[in-house]
Amino acid sequence: MLDVAVIGGGPAALSAALNCRQRNKSVTVFGRSLDSSLLFAAEKVDNYLGMPDIGGEELLNAFYAHAIKNGVEFRECRITQIVSMGEYYVINADNEFIQAKAIILATGLSKSKGIPGEMEYLGKGVSYCATCDGMLYRGKKVAVVAENSEGEAEANFLADICSEVIYVPLYHPVMELKDNIQIMDGKPKSVVGEKEKVSALELTEDTIPCDGIFFAKNSMPPESLLFGLQTEGKNIAVNRKMETNLPRVYAAGDCTGAPYQIAKAVGEGLVAALSAVAAIDEMERNAK
Amino acid sequence: MLDVAVIGGGPAALSAALNCRQRNKSVTVFGRSLDSSLLFAAEKVDNYLGMPDIGGEELLNAFYAHAIKNGVEFRECRITQIVSMGEYYVINADNEFIQAKAIILATGLSKSKGIPGEMEYLGKGVSYCATCDGMLYRGKKVAVVAENSEGEAEANFLADICSEVIYVPLYHPVMELKDNIQIMDGKPKSVVGEKEKVSALELTEDTIPCDGIFFAKNSMPPESLLFGLQTEGKNIAVNRKMETNLPRVYAAGDCTGAPYQIAKAVGEGLVAALSAVAAIDEMERNAK
């Protein structure tokens, strides 16, 4: 079991992971590729104290090198869900299930809160993981809304289980879908429900009556990753120790709100790491 | 008038000052010499992301060089008092009075809360500045408690005004005191008062009846620098924007509490700077 799982890949994630290693904890950073950090694209940075006038890519490379030198492990993957098991958390990383004692969310700027109804019906017909929840829709009709081609695998899996699968691609081209999947164009407008259950997906021009809606997203709003996580607007709510409302779950960097700056992210990553380490140590002392 | 006065000299102060300059504000760092930062003495630092395996002195020098390159000004001095004038603050820097629109406190780890009664009688007989308050004790008896030889100048000044000056040096040797000053040995134990006024200084072995007590300290508890500043234990109370309870006064780094780490200090310095800049801009917009 991992001591700490860090979700992200920017400065906050790397600082958190580095500082977990400094305290001798095992840590893996789960994230998209290196170049997905916003910092990668920055032409010049001159306000991270001690490293004047540096390009974003060069700075990010220096950050990675520092983390790797200290034994931080990286895993390029998409995290669809994190579930609390009381004493530890289980992370769904591309459908491999990894256990960790503590979680540090450094997921960056959340691009969307989803469409109206999406959060409200999460777990009541809305899902972000076909492998996890597909069986609940055996013999039923579902829609799959996909921001990228990873949605095709989800849809193909569901096509073997469900009576009908409607595929709404928000990208192109669509590469490989089973024959019994119907493609519909349009932008998702809202999730419609009845009696606490999803009843339809409303598009700009059509409405698809259905029992379930699966979203395959480029980035997940963090509160949909982790059930019950408290947010303030589009930020994860944290205190000065970078604690969220969930036990042994911390957040750092842009996902906790403005200013969206490297020094803030690096500082918060450190604080989150030390808080996580202290909580793990305390839990293990109490277990003895 | 300065836009921002930063009090300190460690990583939080330098990051705050750098980021004020990045937003085109004038800024001066008021502090003791470079080597007074705790970081100066650190043999090796390996958890400030991007700058692996570096000596404390080398890291601090890189920090200073970065700040100086961006136009940060430095002034080596002792700050004894900061007074609010409503629209701006006045800083007493070695008895020169400097105006600033906003203050960032990055005073480091507070070494003491003073002795019992010290805070309670601040402004009621306890003072940290003979030049400011000496005239209030004309013809009266005062004690001067000095952690360093700067107390001698304070005592010599008071000796011309007061009826009697007792000098309690906590260092040695004592260099140059006027003849009418009496030296007493012992450690200060408490400030004693009667009817909301100082009546005596209690030492370990003696008690000195007096009307006023002047403290000359190596480092000042921040709440004695700035009247009404809210603290939590020995830390300055701040929110996530690094705002204190006073308008346009911010704090960053070790003085806001644990963890006492460079990355936290640098991140908080940045946040304090951006909050200060935003508040100054808003004040100036409203004044138009």
Q: In chain B, which residue's Cα lies nearest the Cα of A69?
A: B52
Interface contact flag, B271 A257, Cβ < 8 Å = no
Cβ contacts of A52 on chain B, cutoff 8 Å: 65-66, 69-70
Classify residue B253 by its DSSP letter: G
Distance between CA atoms of B100 and B83, rounded to whole angstroms?
10
Residue A63 contacts B, CB cutoff 8 Å:
yes
Residue B270 contacts A, CB cutoff 8 Å:
yes
Partner residue opposite A46 with nearest CB, options B22, B48, B268: B22
The phi, psi pair for A146, rounded to 5°, reads: -125, 125
Q: In chain B, which residue's Cα lies nearest the Cα of A18?
A: B47
Provide, rounded to the nearest whole percent, the portion of chain B with pLDDT above 90: 76
Does the interface ipTM go beyond 0.95? no
Q: Which 3-state string (H, E, C) describes chain A?
A: CEEEEEEECCHHHHHHHHHHHHCCCCEEEEECCHHHCHHHHCCCECCCCCCCCECHHHHHHHHHHHHHHCCCEEEECCEEEEEECCCCEEEEECCEEEEEEEEEEECCCCCCCCCCCCCCCECCCEECCHHHHHHHHCCCEEEEEECCCHHHHHHHHHHCCCCEEEEEECCCCCCCCCCCEEECCCCEEEEEEECCEEEEEEECCCEEECCEEEEECCCCCHHHHECCCCEECCEECCCCCCECCCCCEEECHHHHCCCCCHHHHHHHHHHHHHHHHHHHHHHHHHHC
Residue A37 contacts B, CB cutoff 8 Å:
no
Would the pLDDT of B80 be above 90?
A: no
Give, for all 288 residues of chain A, the pLDDT tens digit.
999 999 999 999 999 999 999 999 999 999 876 666 778 878 889 999 999 999 999 999 999 999 999 999 999 988 888 999 999 999 999 889 999 999 999 999 866 668 999 988 988 999 888 877 888 999 999 999 998 888 999 999 999 999 999 999 999 899 899 999 999 999 999 999 998 999 999 999 999 999 999 998 877 778 788 989 999 988 999 999 999 999 999 999 999 999 999 999 999 999 999 999 999 999 999 987
Cβ contacts of B261 on chain A, cutoff 8 Å: 270-271, 274
Q: What pLDDT was estimated at residue A113?
A: 66
Q: What pLDDT was estimated at residue B55?
A: 92
Mutant choice from B14, B24, B49, B57 vs A, greatest count of A C-beta within 10 A: B49
Q: What pLDDT was estimated at residue B188?
A: 96
Q: In chain B, which residue's Cα lies nearest the Cα of A268?
A: B264
Interface contact flag, B270 A15, Cβ < 8 Å = no
Tell me what the mean pLDDT of segment B162-170 comes to: 96
Q: In chain A, which residue's Cα lies nearest the Cα of B51?
A: A66
Interface contact flag, A49 B15, Cβ < 8 Å = yes
Q: What pLDDT was estimated at residue B148?
A: 86
Distance between CA atoms of B107 and B13, rounded to whole angstroms?
8
Interface contact flag, B266 A49, Cβ < 8 Å = yes
Predicted TM-score (pTM) of the model is: 0.79
Nearest-Cα distance to chain B for A47, in Å, is 6
Residue A268 contacts B, CB cutoff 8 Å:
yes
Residue B64 contacts A, CB cutoff 8 Å:
no
Residue B240 contacts A, CB cutoff 8 Å:
yes
Whether a cis peptide bond, with omega within 30° of 0, leads into A173 is: yes
Residue with tokens 């806001």: B256
Q: In chain A, which residue's Cα lies nearest the Cα of B65?
A: A50
Cβ contacts of B52 on chain A, cutoff 8 Å: 65-66, 69-70
Confidence of residue B47 (pLDDT cuts 50, 70, 90): very high
Structure tokens at A123: 């777990």
Residue A106 contacts B, CB cutoff 8 Å:
no
Would the pLDDT of B35 be above 80?
A: no
Mutant choice from A49, A63, A64, A239 vs B, greatest count of B C-beta within 10 A: A49
Q: If you count them, how many residues does chain A have?
A: 288
Q: What pLDDT was estimated at residue B26?
A: 97
Residue B51 contacts A, CB cutoff 8 Å:
yes
Nearest-Cα distance to chain B for A169, in Å, is 40
Interface contact flag, B62 A50, Cβ < 8 Å = yes
Cβ contacts of A69 on chain B, cutoff 8 Å: 52
Whether a cis peptide bond, with omega within 30° of 0, leads into A116 is: no
Residue A49 contacts B, CB cutoff 8 Å:
yes
Classify residue B56 by its DSSP letter: H
Q: Which range among A253-267, B4-18, B31-45 shows the weakest confidence by mean pLDDT? A: B31-45
Q: In chain A, which residue's Cα lies nearest the Cα of B260?
A: A271
Q: In chain B, which residue's Cα lies nearest the Cα of A238?
A: B240
Given a contact cutoff of 8 angstroms between Cβ atoms, the answer to whether A186 and A204 are in contact is yes
Q: What is the DSSP string of B86-104?
A: SSSEEEEETTEEEEEEEEE
Q: What pLDDT was estimated at residue B53?
A: 94
Nearest-Cα distance to chain B for A116, in Å, is 30
Cβ contacts of A62 on chain B, cutoff 8 Å: 50-51
Residue B46 contacts A, CB cutoff 8 Å:
yes
Structure tokens at A168: 């709404």
Structure tokens at B134: 């000496």
H or E segment to which residue B15 belongs = helix B11-22
Nearest-Cα distance to chain B for A52, in Å, is 6
Residue A36 contacts B, CB cutoff 8 Å:
no
